[in-house]
Amino acid sequence: MSFQKINLSDLKSNAKVKPEIMEKVWLLNLDQIESNTGKVLNYEEVPFQGIGSSTIYFQKGTVLYSKLRPYLNKVVIADRNGFATSELVPIVCNEELIYPKYLAYFLRSESFLKFASNVVAGAKMPRMVMSEFWNYEIPLPPLSEQKRIAKILDKADELRQKRQQSIEKLDELLQATFIDMFGDPVTNPKGWDLVKLSTIAEYFNGLTYKPENVVNNGTIVLRSSNIQNSGLDFNDIVRVNAKIKDKIFVKDNDILMCSRNGSAKLVGKVALIKNLNEPMTFGAFMMIIRSNEKYANYLLNYFKTLAFRRQISTGATTTINQITGAMLDRISLPLPNDMALNQFTEIAKSIETQKQRLEKQLTKQENLFKSLQQRAFNGEL
């Protein structure tokens, strides 16, 4: 079955929307959108007066498409009213012609992604050429067929989301095991010796680079967007050609921490560096905590506790948007004996093995999902 095609520009509603003025509003930034899935990773509310001028207003049901680095495939359907960075293009669908879920699935499809990645302007910060975007013809079956396709893709997407949730549950299991084995770091019920973090680890910020340093072939600079599920994700990478000190090349068993971000919820996000396959450094808004290998898994999970968050926020009068070396210098934490540390490390390795198995299964499900998308938009379902 072949579908008629229609320009994206002809699918928009012409209805005008006015901002809803509230004391606090949802502000959506690109780093809060998960690539390929449209999942919003965290919701941030800010005072209405603080949203800034470079934002756009959108209403619930609007399809938001990221024109910056379109290869990251960030498309989301707003589940409430809010404001967003102007890098997100709002598409208010004419729902007599197109079903928003169908459009969002199409914009995330492999065929559209390939098109989008090739019609960009700007080498350093590639953005979609919007005239090409609006003139793109998408397959448009009847509304009933669009909804049927969206329902099939919803079910397939639900399966891969459940696999992703299983991976996240393993992280939660390890965190629960940490508390069970070592106790709450605040009350230290097991009476472990208290030590200064600075006595068992060193920590430092990364590379400051300029836009002109960004190249297609160079050294990977790890950033906040590369931390996913306590590991590294390389969907969104930046490479630079710059002079890099040996010290700030990351090493196995380093802990990468987001030390500064516009979203306070992302500050303190951590990943354990493992199995590097090429030299990498990290950005100035990131921090490396480097210690003996036996401390790595313990520290990684300590940094995920509320105890850590409370310690760095001691004396703060505002939301923590930055972690500094001075804040880490203040930290005293319980240090278990070597036997307990080794036992926890073995548990962490076992859970990591399970995560890797689930991640392989997730990859298979994602490939199946892409195949379904292709068949759906070609009229083969």
358-369: pLDDT as tens digits: 988 988 888 888
pLDDT score, position 315: 47
pLDDT one-digit tens code per residue, 73-124: 999 999 999 999 999 999 999 999 999 999 999 999 999 999 998 998 887 7
Q: Say yes or no to pLDDT of 143 above 50.
A: yes
| Contact partners, residue 128, CB within 8 Å, separation at least 6 | 67, 68, 70, 89, 116, 119, 120
Q: What is the mean pLDDT of residues 249-257?
A: 95
pLDDT one-digit tens code per residue, 12-55: 887 777 787 778 899 999 988 988 889 998 888 888 887 877 89
Residue corresponding to tokens 């696999």 = 163
Confidence of residue 297 (pLDDT cuts 50, 70, 90): very high
pLDDT score, position 314: 62
Of 313 and 152, more confident? 152
pLDDT score, position 317: 41
Please tell me what DSSP assigns to residue 192: P
Task: Yes or no: say if 25 and 52 are a contact pair by the CB < 8 Å rule.
Answer: no
Q: H or E stretch including 138?
A: strand 137-139
Query: Sign of dihedral through CA atoms 57, 60, 65, 68?
Result: positive
pTM here? 0.75
Q: Which is it for strands 193-196 and 332-335: parallel, antiparallel or unpaired?
A: antiparallel
pLDDT one-digit tens code per residue, 170-213: 989 999 999 999 999 989 999 999 999 999 999 999 999 888 88
pLDDT score, position 316: 44
Per the rule left: phi > 0, alpha: psi between -120 and 50, beta: everything else, 92 is: beta
Residue corresponding to tokens 């960030």 = 74
For residues 294 and 297, give the distance between their C-alpha atoms in angstroms, rounded to a whole number.
Answer: 7
pLDDT one-digit tens code per residue, 33-42: 988 889 998 8
Mean pLDDT of the chain: 90
Question: To the nearest whole percent, how much of the chain has pLDDT over 90?
Answer: 61
**And the tokens for 293?**
């290998």
